[in-house]
Structure 1
Amino acid sequence: MTERPIRLPSFDALLAFEAVARAGSFEAAAAELALTASAVAKRVAGLEERLDLPLFVRQPPRGLSLTPAGHEYLPQVRQALALLQAMPLHQRAGTRRERLHVSSTPTFARQLIVPALPGFAAAHPDIELELTLSVPLLAEGDAGADVEIRHGAVPDDLAAGQVLLQDRLTPLAAPSLLARHAPLSTAADLLALPLLRTPLQPWAPWLRAAGLQDTPEPDTGPRLVDLGLVLAAALAGQGVALARLSLARHELAEGRLVQPFALTVPAERQYGLITHRASPAAQAFAGWLRAHCAAIGGAENSSGDR
């Protein structure tokens, strides 16, 4: 009869167990291991499942305490970790990477950050960037991140010094949509086309600047609570988007969207950078992102009359 192979736990799970046992909570161990508390908890839970034994007693809100099995297992794990750490090959000096958790609104992340990330990675190989998406219209933001890109009003949601871009708004449409309608000679002609709507960006400022101040907000069609969804609908020829030139610059350059009118207006809500936990990595990312956004703003201002 063939013996079943020994199923060893993962090294990461053992590290998580030892850190939690020493620190007394998932949160404290997570800060030490540069992980999230949920990730540490999952590693410990996986270890307990592998051993088929509980190692901790969960006692909210007092925290965690070792079970008898956990007390017996802990010195064995520490001895094994010490043996591994004592091996000469494991003591070679290596570059320490600093993890940075960045939270961003979805469209800003997809349209502005992700295409430029290779440049950031090349300039800062010592920073491990973790990019997550926040929820549109989440007023309280994401304080769990080290750095947050937030979309809001100035000065209520953002301070002037936090603003990344002085965005401009203008109608954008797919060539296929414009081909199905009469040519747009005046701003009033735009009202014959379906206007895409979102609570994040009302049409009123542009309509007012175009002399159409008596025109109500569009009240038909889907209500899209994400600027990226508005761009996607415009690209599909479903309607005209009141879009930020910064977010649609690639689509404009490729001809997938066109700008029927030269008139633009400043956005009433802006993207801002908020640092929740200062660090060299956060400072490096903030400097890089501000330079990146300044280059985008400069390119927009030089591409035509605003």
Structure 2
Amino acid sequence: MRPLRLPSLDALLAFDAVARAGSFEAAAAELALSASAVAKRVAGLEERLDLPLFLRQPPRALSLTPAGHEYLPQVRQALALLQAMPLHQRAGPRRERLRVSSTPTFARQLIVPALPGFTAAHPHVELELTLSVPLLAEGDAGADVEIRHGAVPGDIAPEQVLLRDWLTPLAAPALLAAHAPLREPADLLALPLLRTPLQPWAPWLNAASLSDAPEPDDGPRLVDLGLVLAAALAGQGVALARLSLARHELAEGRLVQPFALTVPAERHYGVLVHRPSQAADAFARWLHTHCATLAAENSSGTG
């Protein structure tokens, strides 16, 4: 058998790069080497093959010799085979899948707008966000983390509470413009009050010295806090809303707070980690921090 004259892989890569770039300098920039190092690798390859692969022409021009033209496709075919091997491909960071179940309005109003901050800080977490049905207590059995709305303690432990929210009437400017000016809380009773089994009006009416006022019984019964906000935005009535959930609509002027009076919510949002992991713990910490910021903003505007 004829003795093998196998060149180094570095030499073959240098030869391929110089053939494409047309100079040692350009190939050096591609390979993150010095031009002299690339030239030495090519020279070593030529010495091993005992064949010139490039014609050196002044001042720095390079062109393939006939032997170089014949050798180049063979080298590229060999390099392509090596690059195609899975074990030679650099594995990216392993992505950790995280499934989060949330009540619909909390997900749309609080989680989704802030998600870029979490994904930027944890790019290797593949987050899947699903929705639950709070009134029916139907969650996602496969969720690693759950956002739950309920009583404290009971449904949620005190340390799981994300934020302690505040309730206040909110209405669309067009609805308020169509009625007599609201000078005191009792004037609100002349407007249609939106109703939902998730949040009765009694706490705010009692705080406004309107304890004799009954719960609204006209209009659709909206079994979702997001639907209540949507109805208020459409001018269908006044919503007793959580400041955190309506913060964007208030900031944009699409909803108006006619009275400064707010009352603390009796039920709260909490985060439950069902399957602890680095991703689940990171998401819970991030969500607690995000909600603490929102709670501070809400408390500064409460009356």
Structure 2 length normalisation: TM-score? 0.71
- In the TM superposition, residue 91 of structure 1 has moved relative to its aligned partner by 4.5
Q: Secondary structure at the match of 1:243?
A: strand
CA–CA distance in structure 1, aligned partners of residues 88 and 174 of structure 2: 61
Query: How far apart, in 2, do the equivalents of 1:268 and 1:259 lie?
Result: 20
Would you say the 8 A contact 1:136–1:225 is kept in 2?
no
Match of 1:196, SS?
A: coil
What secondary structure, in the 3-state scheme, does the structure 2 residue paired with 1:191 have? helix
Give the RMSD, CA atoms, in angstroms. 1.3
Q: How many angstroms does 1:155 deviate by?
A: 1.2
1:228 aligns with 2:226: yes
Distance 2:150 2:295 in 1: 18
Question: 1:128 — aligned with what?
Answer: 126
1:35-66, Cα deviation, whole Å (9 max, x unpaired): xxxxxxxxxxxxxxxxxxxxxxxxxxxxxxxx
1:43-82 aligned at under 5 Å gives the runs none
Q: Percent identity?
A: 82
What is residue 272 of structure 2 aligned with on the other side? 274
**Which letter maps to 1:222?**
P
Aligned partners of 1:271, 1:296: CA distance in 2, in Å? 13
AA at the equivalent of 1:298:
A
Structure 2: segments with no counterpart, 5+ residues: 1-83
Q: Please report how far the alpha carbon of residue 305 of structure 1 lies from its aligned counterpart in structure 2 after TM superposition.
A: 4.1
Q: Is the 8 A contact 1:162 1:272 kept in 2?
A: yes
The residue type paired with residue 143 of structure 1 is A
Q: Any residues of structure 2 matched to 1:132-147 within 5 Å, and which?
A: 132-139=130-137, 141-147=139-145
Runs of 4+ in structure 1 over 6 Å off: none
Aligned to 2:292: 294
Q: Which blocks of at least 5 consecutive residues in structure 1 are unaligned?
A: 1-85
- Match for residue 107 of structure 1 among 105, 126, 137: 105
Q: Greater Rg, structure 1 or structure 2?
A: 2
CA spacing shift, 1:136–1:88, aligned 2, 3 Å: closer
Match of 1:155 in 2: 153
User: What code does the residue aligned with 2:98 have?
Assistant: L
Check whether the contact 2:132–2:140 (CA below 8 A) recurs between aligned residues.
yes
Q: Which amino acid in 1 is paired with 2:247? A: R
**Alpha-carbon deviations, 1:269-300, whole Å to 9, x = none?**
11010111000000000010000000111111
- Partner of 2:184 in structure 1? 186
Q: Contact 2:101/2:139 (CA < 8 Å) preserved in 1?
A: no
Q: Which amino acid aligns with 1:156?
A: G
Q: What is the letter of the counterpart of residue 123 of structure 1?
A: A
- The code of the aligned residue for 1:179 comes to A
- The amino acid of 2:291's aligned partner reads C
The TM-score with structure 1 as length reference comes to 0.70
TM-aligned CA deviation for residue 171 of structure 1: 0.1
Aligned partner (choices 283, 286, 299) of residue 285 of structure 1: 283
Give the aligned partner of residue 212 of structure 2: 214
Distance apart, 1:179 and its partner CA: 0.3
